[in-house]
Amino acid sequence: MAETTFKCDVCGNEFDTSTLKEFFDESGRRLELCPQDLDAKMNEAGSVHGGPGEKKEAAAYDDDGPRTGPYGEREAPAQR
């Protein structure tokens, strides 16, 4: 059964999974964020790029982050 909520890695509040945003920071760590905290992380990073997410089709990447796997590459991961 799919989860219907997630806990934001920044604020700790629970949100509906439909609002889940993914952000990969400079260390390559994947964060599950609410939309407000994604905006804050993107502003903090200064420069970001888009790419494939692990759970979502699109994610935001800190430009200082790694550019290679598992989700740092520009091409979408292979479908299982």
CA distances from 59 to 1, 62, 78 (A): 24, 10, 16
Residue 23 confidence (pLDDT) above 90: yes
Residue 78 domain-assigned (yes or no): no
CA 11/CA 47 separation, integer angstroms: 22
CA 72/CA 50 separation, integer angstroms: 10
Q: Which domain holds residue 53?
A: 5-62
Token pair for 10: 């920044």
Residue 37 domain-assigned (yes or no): yes
Domain count, the chain: 1
pLDDT in tens, 27-51: 888 999 999 999 999 998 888 888 8
> Residue 67 — very low, low, confident or very high, per pLDDT cuts 50/70/90?
low
Residue 68 domain-assigned (yes or no): no
Other CB atoms within a 10 A radius of the CB of residue 45 amount to 18
